[in-house]
Amino acid sequence: MSRFPLGDKELKLGMLGMVEGNGHPFSWSIIFNGSYDPDALAKCPYPAIKDYIGKQPASTLGIPGAKVTHVWTDNPADAVSVAAVANIPNVVARAEDVIGHVDAVLVATDKGHEHVERCRPFVEAGIPIFVDKPLCTSAEDLATFSKWVDEGKAIISSSAMRYCKEFEPYHNGATHEFGELRHISMTMVKSWEAYGIHALEAVYPIVGPGFVSVQNIGDDKTNIVHLRHRSGTEITLSVISDLYGGFGLMTLAGTRANAQLKFFDNYYSFKKQLESYVGYLRTGVPPVPWSETVELMQLVIAGLDSRAQGGAKIYLNEKH
If asked whether residues 170 and 71 sit together in one domain, one would say no
3 part of a folded domain:
no
* Sheet containing 181-189, strands listed edge to edge, beginning at the edge strand earlier in sequence: 258-262, 249-254, 181-189, 234-240, 222-229, 211-216, 313-315
Q: What is the pLDDT of residue 190?
A: 97
How far CA 196 is from CA of 126, 160, 226, 240, 255, in Å, comes to 30, 13, 12, 10, 27
**Whole-angstrom Cα Rg for the chain:** 19
Query: What residues make up the domain containing 139?
Result: 11-160+268-287
Q: How many domains does the chain have?
A: 2
Residue 237: strand pairing partners:
186, 225
Q: How would you write the pLDDT of the chain (320 residues) with one tens digit per residue?
A: 568 999 999 999 999 999 999 999 999 999 999 999 999 999 999 999 999 999 999 999 999 999 999 999 999 999 999 999 999 999 999 999 999 999 999 999 999 999 999 999 999 999 999 999 999 999 999 999 999 999 999 999 999 999 999 999 999 999 999 999 999 999 999 999 999 999 999 999 999 999 999 999 999 999 999 999 999 999 999 999 999 999 999 999 999 999 999 999 999 999 999 999 999 999 999 999 999 999 999 999 999 999 999 999 999 986 44
235 part of a folded domain:
yes
292 part of a folded domain:
no
62 part of a folded domain:
yes
2 part of a folded domain:
no
Q: What is the pLDDT of residue 317?
A: 83
Rounded (10°) CA dihedral 53, 54, 60, 66: 40
24 part of a folded domain:
yes
If asked whether residues 42 and 151 sit together in one domain, one would say yes
If asked whether residues 143 and 177 sit together in one domain, one would say no
Size (the chain), residues: 320
If asked whether residues 26 and 118 sit together in one domain, one would say yes
Helix (H), strand (E) at residue 216: strand 211-216
If asked whether residues 144 and 183 sit together in one domain, one would say no
If asked whether residues 83 and 184 sit together in one domain, one would say no
If asked whether residues 108 and 180 sit together in one domain, one would say no
195 part of a folded domain:
yes
CATH of the domain at 185: 3.30.360.10
Question: Distance between CA 172 and CA 65 in Å, rounded?
Answer: 30
pTM over the 0.95 mark: yes
Q: Which amino acid is at 234?
A: E
121 part of a folded domain:
yes
If asked whether residues 192 and 258 sit together in one domain, one would say yes
If asked whether residues 171 and 310 sit together in one domain, one would say yes
13: nearest Cα among 278, 317, 259, 305: 278
CATH of the domain at 105: 3.40.50.720
If asked whether residues 39 and 102 sit together in one domain, one would say yes
If asked whether residues 249 and 280 sit together in one domain, one would say no
If asked whether residues 114 and 18 sit together in one domain, one would say yes
Q: What is the pLDDT of residue 2?
A: 65
Q: What is the pLDDT of residue 1?
A: 56
Query: How far does CA 267 lie from the centroid of its chain?
Result: 14
